[in-house]
Amino acid sequence: MKVIFLDLDKTLIGGDYSPEPGKGVVRALVEGGFEVVLNSSKTRFEQEYYREVWGLDSPFIVENGSAVYLPNTHFLVHVAGDFGLERENYRVIELGKSYSEIRAVLDSIRNKYGLKYYGNLSIDEVVEFTGLPRKLARLAMRREYSETVFQWLKRGFEAELEDRGFRVSRGSRFINITGDTDKGRAAKVLLDLYSSVEPVESFAVGDGPNDFPLFEVVDNAYIVGDLEHPKAKNISSVDELLEVVL
Ligand code: MG
């Protein structure tokens, strides 16, 4: 089978966060026989919104590799056996740290560094920092495994967080804090499950440094835009991806 991991921000979704432009791409991939797996820094609740619009029922990876969500209706749930935990309509394989653990540490150092993150902002401030529509901002604020630092008055908090066992990664504008995991580690867990059923050819598409660990674990990698990675081919947009893989 063919499994493709797709980043969301700046890959399938543009600056206005609309699901509409990505709809045709996702549909073409599904019709082309791909298992489409979203793999994003976005929360489970944000991804549920896009999955619903795009009609996806496949597994997905949330908050920069922090957890793999397997819908109970998906065949991999049976393959996973007792692996993971039950939550609502999902089996969840957790790889990161809980939000409460990350939040407690950030709360303890926020005054020292002047930190602003989802947890200490109002929804109006989140909308201002991110440009998210209010409805999606609300879903982004329901965090399970990571925080995003939008503003700081001085540096040094990154090293302090890393010393305490957290992973600090730079996005294009902000800084993301997770447990010791990444998009590649989570993708590998999922690929091992698929591969236990049948041979897999794997693909990944992303645009940022946080997609690099993902590129390392797949057979075919693509970067949207100008960033360079030794394993990945550059493409101008996800539409060009369809020309290459279908
Ligand atoms: Mg991105």
Q: Do the beta carbons of residue 227 and residue 237 sit within 8 Å?
A: no
Dist. CA 92–CA 55, nearest whole Å: 20
Give the pLDDT score at 170.
Answer: 80
Q: Say if residue 137 is in the same domain as residue 166.
A: yes
Boundaries of domain holding 170: 99-178
pTM listed for this prediction:
0.97
Give residue 16 CA to ligand 1 midpoint distance, Å: 14
Retrieve residue 77's tokens: 């749930």
Q: How far, in Å, is the centroid of ligand 1 from the Cα of 240?
A: 17
Nearest partner of 71 among 57, 85, 56, 84, judged by Cα: 57
42 alpha carbon to ligand 1 midpoint, in Å?
10
Which residues contact residue 88 at a Cβ distance below 8 angstroms, ignoring those fewer than 6 apart? none
Same domain, 189 and 124: no
In the prediction, which pLDDT does 171 show? 67
Same domain, 13 and 129: no
- Average of per-residue pLDDT values in the chain: 96
Residues 136, 52 share a domain = no
Q: Ligand 1 centre from 237 Cα, in Å?
A: 12
Q: How confident is the model at residue 22 (pLDDT cuts 50, 70, 90)?
A: very high
- 124 an active-site residue? no
The percentage of the chain sitting over the pLDDT mark of 90, rounded to a whole number, equals 96
Same domain membership, residue 90 and residue 121? no
Mean pLDDT of 202-230: 96
Same domain, 108 and 86: no
Q: Are residues 153 and 211 in the same domain?
A: no
Predicted local distance difference test score (pLDDT) of residue 47: 98
Domain of 116, CATH number, reads 3.30.980.20
pLDDT score of 201 more than 80 = yes
Task: Count the domains in the chain.
Answer: 2
Q: Name the active-site residue from 7, 9, 207, 211.
A: 7
Give mean pLDDT, residues 223-238: 96
pLDDT tens-place string over residues 99-129: 999 999 999 999 999 999 999 999 999 999 9
- pLDDT of 204 > 70? The answer is yes
CA-to-CA distance for 7 and 13, rounded, in angstroms? 9
Q: Ligand 1 mean position to 154 CA, how many Å?
A: 26
The last residue of one of the domains, among 140, 161, 178, is 178
Same-domain check for residues 168 and 154: yes
Q: Of all residues in the chain, what percent carry a pLDDT higher than 70?
A: 99
Confidence check: pLDDT of 172 > 90: no
